[in-house]
Structure 1
């Protein structure tokens, strides 16, 4: 909700700027015509009346009206930010994993470190790293989708619309595999009663109420045990979940990862039509005729050509995403 509040604030700032521009124009017209109208005094009076009306409205609210301005859903934001504040004071932070919704972190700006992040969205974990950043040029204050050049004014920005990976909450073994193999993720923010693994390799370094911070120790024997376990974990074990992940990865333009999940979904359940259709759409859009032909040939072993080449209908694994 804090992002919505920021948007409202920017809207009012823009509106105030527009009002000032109008009054400046009127003031200039009055000066040109030798009219003496206290325009700035009028502006001040209007601002005072506007602020007074809003203050009166808030102060006079009853409990039923106040409840509309509160949010009783996700709790624990203060705990998560306390953990992130602790992590931000450390000197060895290379990557962060949070098993709570990313909306509880305020964009995790409290960390003050440009490091990769994996955090929960709602029914999936999203990864944000250097591959998913968007360049921002301070001289133009505009987002650019073209590749960065050697420009001193260029900065990189993480946004919710640009991710590096999408992992369903129903595919947590693969999430575990990713976090172990990607050794840059060395700080974890977990709920108090949640254990990440039992092979060692992580130590608790901070705790607040029902949240804790675990740090990866990189102890050689524990690391080897972790890597051995991770190497035995497949991409997924449920074709429906893999198809769901593949669809959303393609939606975000992560075609290589989408292809990997969808191909494995076909390997697990070769008669399922959905992964074939989504793969064919991806290959057709990217002009990859060789792979398109191979997938179509495989699909036609179980379905007709009309069925294989029909439009893909996304799985409604979480129905609220399609309202």
Structure 2
């Protein structure tokens, strides 16, 4: 037992010594690791230093080259270098176009040569005589065209004068008939005004017509400023004036509901104007007076015209059919 106890003590001492050595080795290992890290940092610093020295050397070499180039290009215009690339591209484009134009020029030369040959062939075939004939025809046609244009302009001027004269006559008739028929005091007379002249192609006359009403020498457009009765009366008078002017022997006078929107006084004077027209036209064999109306009083007023003896009444019979009956004025 004593022997085992001594052996155990020795092993315990040895174990303690091993633990102490292990602790010392661990500390030594940490110290070595720190040293290795420091050496790696130093190595990195040295590498960066070497790289920096190399860059500095390259910078010095570049500065030296720049200085040499600056000495060589001293007094040289640097703007020319900027324009060099643009001018080179332009030169390339011009060269390309020049080659294309050369090709076109050769083609045109060949075409010209062929045309000269064709012309010579045509001359040999008597084309000169044909050309003279066509030239004479063209000259005569131009002269005829000029004469026709002169005649046309002369005709237009004659028509213009004719138009002025007829419009003057129409307005005289319209003014006279308005004063005879219209009994109101708000309009002295009406008149047709014409505006216009030559069109854009300068060979046609174009007119715009409008009806104006006049009061105390002041003229205003009737459109939108007159009543329905005044409008109807103006239409009737203008149509009668047109018939009187452009067809002095007109055969038919037809009026459809002429008294619509007219008051009794204007209807009375309308009958008087129609009476004058009928009296003037009764000697004419082909004259026919047609009035279509539902106004019984107007029909009665028409019966006072000497030459009007009867009228025709259209009605519907018991079978729903229309029948015409002749009615005589008593």
Tell me the TM-score range normalised by the shorter chain: under 0.3
Please, what TM-score do these two structures have when normalized by structure 2? Answer: 0.23
Q: Which has the higher contact order (CA 8 A, sep 6+)?
A: 1
**Higher fraction of helix:** 2
Larger Rg, first or second structure (1 or 2): 2
